Amino acid sequence: MGLVTRSVARATGDPPEFIEASDGVKALKLASRFPPDVVVADEITSRAGAFAVTRGLKDAAQPFAGRVVVFLERTQDAWLAAWSGADAWFVKPVNPFEVAETIAGFFEGGQKEAV
């Protein structure tokens, strides 16, 4: 996610802190320990994909207050992104500048963080 990361840093003006997880299960654990402002999840992720991560965040005992962005493999999966509670979704290959613009729009100041 190098280009997306750099694009978000440029779009927000104040580079956010990024924490990466190698799979969906680790992402859920990290997000519960260190609640981020934004989670970016790929539909095709081992051990819990983007929809499972999104539902897990939204259905947690302490509901996730941040935003979730999902990267989809195909347009037909947009309904799954909406069902899971994603705040935004993009079909791959994603335009990193569109993703960055969307994420920057989530912020109105304060600390920025993304997973």
For each of the chain's 115 residues, which pLDDT tens digit applies? 578 888 888 887 776 778 888 899 999 999 999 888 899 998 877 778 899 999 999 998 887 889 999 999 999 999 999 999 999 999 999 999 999 999 989 885 544 455 5
Q: Please answer whether residues 98 and 6 qualify as being in contact, where contact means their C-beta atoms are separated by less than 8 angstroms.
A: no
- pTM (2 decimals)? 0.85
Domain range annotation of the chain? 2-114
Break the chain down into helix, strand, coil percent, rounded to 5.
45, 15, 40
Q: Please answer whether residues 66 and 36 qualify as being in contact, where contact means their C-beta atoms are separated by less than 8 angstroms.
A: yes
Whether omega before 93 lies within 30 degrees of 0, making that bond cis, reads: yes
- pLDDT at residue 109, as a whole number: 53
The CATH H-level superfamily of 2-114 is Response regulator (3.40.50.2300)
- pLDDT at residue 5, as a whole number: 81
Nearest to 40 by CA among 92, 109, 83, 108: 92
- pLDDT at residue 113, as a whole number: 52
